[in-house]
Chains A and B, each alone.
Chain A
Amino acid sequence: MNFKERFLTAMNHEEPDQVPVMGLIMDPATVNKILEKKPADFVGMLQKPVMASQIKNLLNSNRFWTNMYYGNTAGAMEAAIKLGFDANWTIYALMKLTKDPQASVGWSWNDPYGRVWDLGADEDGSMNVNYSRALLDTEEKWEKWVAEKAPVFEMMLRNVAAFHRKLVKNYGDRIYPVGYAAPGIFENSWQPIGFVNFTKLIYQKPEFVKKVIAFQTDLYLRNLEAVMKSDVEAVLGGDDLGQKTGPLMRPELIEKLYGESYRRVAELVHQHKKKFVFHCCGNIYALLNKFVEWGFDGIITMEPTAGMELGKVREQVGHKLVLIGNLDVSYLVVRGTQQEVEDAVKKAIRDAARGGGYILSTSHSHPAVDPLRLQWMVEAAHKYGKYPIAV
């Protein structure tokens, strides 16, 4: 079997020749380490006013951004191919570099939805980016923002389609690029408003919240359509509905607010005869049955640091969902020994791979991930993941 047949066979809950291995490679730090590239000192350059102004002008032009972002993702694909992965996720993001006195380095990224992303550099100088705060903390700000950003959303959707098509064209014969429509409806509705504000609005202004969710659902469905234009058979979508100890909201409330939206997501993907895998971080046992009910085909992450265990998930959902992920990125593929990596791979395969329906991967991307540990993970998957499973 080639990588594509292997991936799709597992997605159909059938046993391929061996357990497919998927990379979640996207962080510049990981890509630079794998490709042995020296990172550009982006944060340092931003501290020089003249240079910062030039960088801002360049990055905030759609043409430059699109080429640069594609180049970074192409690097991630090369890195994933180099390590022997069968598949890798591909995510498009549109950001605007903004001077920001509240940001740790004086600059932040703003996304079209109304989030602020803090940027910094790790010890090696590779850039890292994290959601830090909301820009639209009132109803009025939100209304004004989405009206003004209508042309940006259109541009973003055109970029999404072109980005994924190009990746599949250029890399599809060497690795399976799984397009990821992100961020999802839940995150796009609360993060630009802030969690505390959004929670208050749920109880105090439910009609406004309904409007926000309806807007984000329509936009998200168009984002998914754009990703699917690349013609791959499986797509990822994402929303972190969980945190360390459980879902962010009561499952009944999530159903009430978002259930219909998620059903529409699954229906749309199935209309295109594709499979939908849902990225969802945190402790999400309480939502697994919902994922099945909403029509999702698979889930990805299952964070061990949030208490997610593959065996328990498989026991709860059987083969109603394809499972992807679960290998720890807080220790195992950062500082773990080769024996620990092998043991974790064997356990994952033992717990979830019988009958197909399991794709081995880390639970998430992370800048601290060590390429050597990823290589051990891939090698162990090849060594112990041959069907019939015997570990």
Chain B
Amino acid sequence: MPDDIIEQLRNGMLALEMDAALKATDAVVNGQNKAAVKEAVDAVTQALQVVGKKFQEGEWFLAELVYAGEIAKEIMARLSPLMQAEDSQSQGTIVIGTVAGDLHDLGKNIFINYARTSGFKVIDLGIDVPTAKFVSAVKEHQPLALGMSCLLTSTEKELGKVVDELKKQGVRDTVKVVIGGAALSERSAQNAAADAFAPDAITGLDMIKKWSAVR
């Protein structure tokens, strides 16, 4: 597979040109070359890292972050059936959901898109997730991290309830808890006894990657 196809895929993503990126992806898929599929997956991951960096440095903003994530999702949907088991080895499991009483999911979904493309297995519990469901998912999936999204200050108290219940059920020490959402701050993480507050999806993912590396 010529390097320039992979380059076209990467450039298409970074230029936010979905058609160009998908055209290059189709060329990879049609080539049926397993090494090229792996190169393409790596290129998507690298491109998303560049996007994340641009976002954190204030060069790109939420719309660009979202659209790059959507392009990556489309590419991965085409590449996934051709991926070898070793290509899709998980970096770890993340359980995530929006707390009870809150129906917002934009930030959560951006995070999921980037986390999955970075090699994490993500269990998405959806929106308006009751405490018991978070705890039961932690027990069942034994994730590296539990992410809770909360856009509303009126539902902030739910974060602490989940952490308390994790403690009660003896699984708090098995999982890192990260919270994110417009209503939250470092103070919210302290109040809820979470491990970290992520101001945005990319920072949250960076934290979990670090936790994954030192496991």
In the assembled complex, A246 has its CB within 8 A of some CB on chain B: yes
In the assembled complex, A238 has its CB within 8 A of some CB on chain B: no
Q: Judging by beta carbons under 8 Å apart, are A331 and B187 in contact?
A: yes
Partner of B128, one of A104, A204, A253, A305: A104
Partner of A250, one of B61, B199, B200: B61
Q: Judging by beta carbons under 8 Å apart, are B62 and A305 in contact?
A: no
B212 CB to nearest chain A CB (Å): 23
List the one stretch of A3-11, A151-159, A192-200 in contact with chain B: A192-200
Q: Judging by beta carbons under 8 Å apart, are A367 and B154 in contact?
A: yes
Chain B hits for A118, CB < 8 A: 103
Q: Judging by beta carbons under 8 Å apart, are A368 and B18 in contact?
A: no
Q: How many residues in B have their beta carbons less than 8 Å from beta carbons of A? A: 27
A331 and B185 alpha carbons, distance in the complex (Å)? 11
Q: Judging by beta carbons under 8 Å apart, are B182 and A244 in contact?
A: yes
In the assembled complex, B64 has its CB within 8 A of some CB on chain A: yes
Q: Judging by beta carbons under 8 Å apart, are A250 and B153 in contact?
A: no
In the assembled complex, B36 has its CB within 8 A of some CB on chain A: no
A103 and B127 alpha carbons, distance in the complex (Å)? 11
19 of the cross-chain contacts (CB-CB < 8 Å) are A104-B128, A118-B103, A132-B104, A196-B109, A199-B66, A203-B67, A244-B200, A245-B200, A246-B62, A247-B61, A248-B62, A249-B61, A250-B60, A305-B185, A330-B153, A330-B183, A330-B187, A367-B154, A368-B154
Secondary structure of the B contact surface, majority rule: loop
A104 CB to nearest chain B CB (Å): 6
Chain A hits for B63, CB < 8 A: 195, 199, 202, 248-250, 253
Chain A hits for B137, CB < 8 A: none
In the assembled complex, B2 has its CB within 8 A of some CB on chain A: no
A177 CB to nearest chain B CB (Å): 27
Kindly list the 9 A-B residue pairs having the minimum CB-CB distance in the complex, ordered from nearest.
A249-B63, A132-B103, A248-B62, A199-B63, A199-B66, A199-B67, A247-B61, A245-B200, A249-B61
Chain A hits for B62, CB < 8 A: 195, 243, 246-249
B112 CB to nearest chain A CB (Å): 12
A9 CB to nearest chain B CB (Å): 34
A68 and B66 alpha carbons, distance in the complex (Å)? 40
B41 CB to nearest chain A CB (Å): 23
Residue of A with least CB distance to B182? A244
A330 and B182 alpha carbons, distance in the complex (Å)? 11
Q: Judging by beta carbons under 8 Å apart, are A196 and B66 in contact?
A: yes
In the assembled complex, A36 has its CB within 8 A of some CB on chain B: no
A16 and B58 alpha carbons, distance in the complex (Å)? 38
Q: Judging by beta carbons under 8 Å apart, are A246 and B61 in contact?
A: yes
For chain B, residues 167 to 212, give those with C-beta under 8 angstroms from any C-beta of chain A: 182-183, 185, 187, 199-200
A247 and B103 alpha carbons, distance in the complex (Å)? 22
A175 CB to nearest chain B CB (Å): 27
B45 CB to nearest chain A CB (Å): 21
Q: Judging by beta carbons under 8 Å apart, are A244 and B18 in contact?
A: no
Q: Judging by beta carbons under 8 Å apart, are B58 and A246 in contact?
A: yes
For chain A, residues 62 to 116, give those with C-beta under 8 angstroms from any C-beta of chain B: 102-104
In the assembled complex, A184 has its CB within 8 A of some CB on chain B: no
A330 and B60 alpha carbons, distance in the complex (Å)? 27
Q: Judging by beta carbons under 8 Å apart, are B199 and A245 in contact?
A: yes
Partner of A244, one of B64, B66, B101, B199: B199
Residue of B with least CB distance to A108? B103
Given A250-B60, A253-B63, A330-B185, 12 other A-B residues pairs in contact with their CB atoms under 8 A: A104-B101, A104-B103, A122-B154, A199-B63, A199-B66, A199-B67, A202-B67, A203-B67, A248-B63, A249-B61, A366-B153, A368-B154
